[in-house]
Structure 1
Amino acid sequence: MKIAVLGAGSWGTVLADLLVHNGHQVMLWGNSQPVADEINQAHTNRHYLPEFAIDPAVEASLDLEATLADAAGILFVIPTAAMRIVAKQVAAVLAKTGAKPILISATKGLEQNSHKRISQIIGDEFPAELAQSLVIFSGPSHAEDVATHDITSLTVASENIKDAEWVQGIFMNEYFRLYTNDDMVGVELGGALKNVIAIGAGVLHGLGYGDNTKAALITRGIAEISRLGIELGANPLTFMGLSGIGDLIVTCTSVHSRNWRCGNALGQGQKLADVLTNMGMVVEGVGTAKAAHELSAQCNVEMPISESIYRVLYEDADVHEEIDRLMQRKGKRELDFQRY
């Protein structure tokens, strides 16, 4: 069947290639003519994946209507900041054609100001019939590893489990395995908030801290992600799964993670503006840190690690002082996830 993949970055490119590998027709939509030309002519996308050869059957286009035509599924793989505007454009095309494809999102983040999850943005921009088909695609996955067919397991979450199973069916193969889940709140929050903690993990590495410190950050990071998620109605067990601790581990420990690399550069003394300029790609955790700071205050949920990362990013706080602040906090019970 035909699948439209929206977003020609590293993850969108690799997922488009995977779908072709599974026997589907794929059109990959982006906003750069040079990138589309390179994909169609050289079958590479060197800016994002320098060593990756794309299957020649992947067709790239800047024509959204042509990309969406006759698609059984639409996969959004675009930055959170662009999600609403692209969703509006897609909704307009579908309203004109009357098509009702399955909507899938592999974007991980929270919208600035509104603090909305991707499913809530989709709910705002699409008719209920289409929005209710949305499947969230999340878990421990770096595009660079999937490109080499490294064994990968992810979660697909939807209010309609049959739609999740449909997505599971079109993606699964000998190196890519998906599990279904009906907890969209937990899956989305786990995927978004782990990027904030990963910036902290990078900072610690840049400062020269060892494995003990990184393990402490990861485990206490999932505790505060869980607290906010539970407050917002998530299933606590989701955070022990692929889209929770699984995604947090891979993002906090891999040089492939943009969020980790951003934090590592900050830990080495670079300025945030310079880091983001040099990265040349979106670092979702930076924007999510601000949204998490505001959302946790709104919900009266304590997230001390995320709060320290927010202060480093947005208030130019000294990293060493923030670490001291965390270590000098009053002693707490480890398993009191509901609050502190």
Structure 2
Amino acid sequence: MQVRLHYARQGLRNQSASIRGHLGERSHGKAGYRVVIRRRAPRAPSWPPRLAPPPTKLLPAISETRCVNKTAVIGSGSWGTTLAVLVAEAHGNCALWAHDPAEAHDMAARRENVRFLPGVTLPDTLHIEHDPAAVLRNADLVLLTVPMRRLRENWDAVAHLIEPHAAIVSGIKGLDPATGRRVSEFVVEWAGDEIRHRLAVLSGPNLAREIAAGEPATAVIAARVPEVGRTVQQRLSAPTFRTYVSDDVIGIELAGAIKNVIAIGAGVADGLRFGDNAKAALMTRGLAEMTRLGLTAGADALTFAGLAGMGDLIATCASPHSRNHYVGQELAAGRTLDDIQSRMVMVAEGVETSRGALALARRLGVEMPIVELINRALFDGLPVAEAGQVLMARELSHELRGLRRDD
């Protein structure tokens, strides 16, 4: 095995260091520099593993189809573009679908997503297309990164073009505002039950701007079929992006969506200049509400203590890059929701998710006072300072009420 080492400046596009061998990449930091170890696949790659749900073989192996280790990203917002850059840099052969033809042309010409991810160079291994057929042709992994409210129209545009044995990954953190249903539930309804065996969901503390800048980050991938989860894990892993696997699809989706609602509350707390005690209490009790709902819906309580729960909650409640936190701050400043949203280029999923989470909680008989009051502040004109007073005046109770199976 021939070895070549170089030091490369931190960032996704400056990774010149390599070790030539077999599969995988690793990196080690050094005072502002990073040694990146790159290994190239042998001529007859055994990766990715076979997408076959146990105990019986329901799906052919990826190698038995026309798929060629190609990743297709549906949605050219900040998150979709970031994931596309990540995969293209780490593994190559990635295509990004931009719904607007002018936007697709501009991104391809400039090699930059000026509107949603300015300042980040798009690598040559990333192909930007307006034609969904070109993006999805021969792709064995499809990432959905569109806003929740546009899921159906985008699904209808691409579903018939997805390769029959491709894995489908939702990177969408939202709930249907009317029913509280999750993305995976809609996809199964529209595509049929068989697709469950090819579905995965992605979540975690994943602020797009930081990941695109090459800063270290982690995520969790949940799938019903372990081999699907491991395949997605391998494809999305990069020197600065470490992924874990889980089998708790329900918990990962609910945690990723509802933490956005709690982040609006954290923004309110910061906007009202509450202290650290108040913000910590809001986040912790918000996590308790998320966990209660998840348990009742069939999720694993430990999921909410992991990356998709507490991890994502911390990042979204604390970061100045968080859209949902921004909404809360603006509410505290006295602005209306319409005014706030008119100033935003990107979608704050927590706004509509507050409706969906409340609808699901009521259907399942779960108490979520923080989510309910945030919903009232967003849509019913409840003053945010009054919402805080209502929470403090609630009936005293046990801290772990509703968090144990026997409650």
**Structure-2-length-normalised TM-score:** 0.80
CA distance in 2, matches of 1:14, 1:29: 13
1:10-62, CA deviations, whole angstroms, 9 ceiling, x for partnerless residues?
01111101111112211100212232122211111122122222213211111
Q: Aligned match of 2:231 in 154, 158, 166?
A: 166
Structure 2 partner of 1:293: 358
Map 1:309-324 to 2 at 5 A: 309-324=374-389
Structure 2: gaps (5+ residues):
1-68
* Stretch deviating more after TM superposition (44-53 or 162-171): 44-53
CA distance in 2, matches of 1:23, 1:108: 25
CA distance in 1, matches of 2:158, 2:73: 12
Q: Which has the higher helix share?
A: 1
Structure 1 partner of 2:329: 264
Deviation (angstroms), 1:193: 0.3
Instruction: Tell whether the 8 Å contact from 2:165 to 2:198 is kept in structure 1 after alignment.
Output: no
Instruction: Tell whether the 8 Å contact from 1:84 to 1:125 is kept in structure 2 after alignment.
Output: no
CA distance in 2, matches of 1:51, 1:64: 26
Residue 49 in 1 paired to residue 117 in 2? yes
Structure 2 partner of 1:73: 141
Q: CA 1:299–1:99 in 2, change beyond 3 Å: closer, same or farther?
A: closer
Q: Aligned match of 2:263 in 191, 198, 203?
A: 198
Q: Percent identity?
A: 39
Helix, strand or coil: the match of 1:192?
helix
Structure 1 partner of 2:105: 37
Instruction: Tell whether the 8 Å contact from 2:196 to 2:224 is kept in structure 1 after alignment.
Output: no
Q: Aligned match of 2:82 in 14, 20, 38?
A: 14
Instruction: Tell whether the 8 Å contact from 1:218 to 1:248 is kept in structure 2 after alignment.
Output: yes
1:159-206, CA deviations, whole angstroms, 9 ceiling, x for partnerless residues?
001100000001112111011000001000000000000011111111
Instruction: Tell whether the 8 Å contact from 1:39 to 1:59 is kept in structure 2 after alignment.
Output: no
CA distance in 2, matches of 1:27, 1:318: 45
CA distance in 2, matches of 1:132, 1:91: 16
Structure 2 partner of 1:84: 152
Deviation (angstroms), 1:93: 2.4
Helix, strand or coil: the match of 1:119?
helix
Deviation (angstroms), 1:226: 0.4
Structure 2 partner of 1:225: 290
Residue 125 in 1 paired to residue 190 in 2? yes
Q: CA RMSD in A?
A: 1.4
Instruction: Tell whether the 8 Å contact from 1:157 to 1:180 is kept in structure 2 after alignment.
Output: yes
Helix, strand or coil: the match of 1:73?
strand
Deviation (angstroms), 1:212: 1.4
Helix, strand or coil: the match of 1:50?
strand
Helix, strand or coil: the match of 1:83?
helix
Q: Which has the higher strand share?
A: 2
Structure 1: gaps (5+ residues):
none
Deviation (angstroms), 1:281: 1.3
Structure 1 partner of 2:241: 176
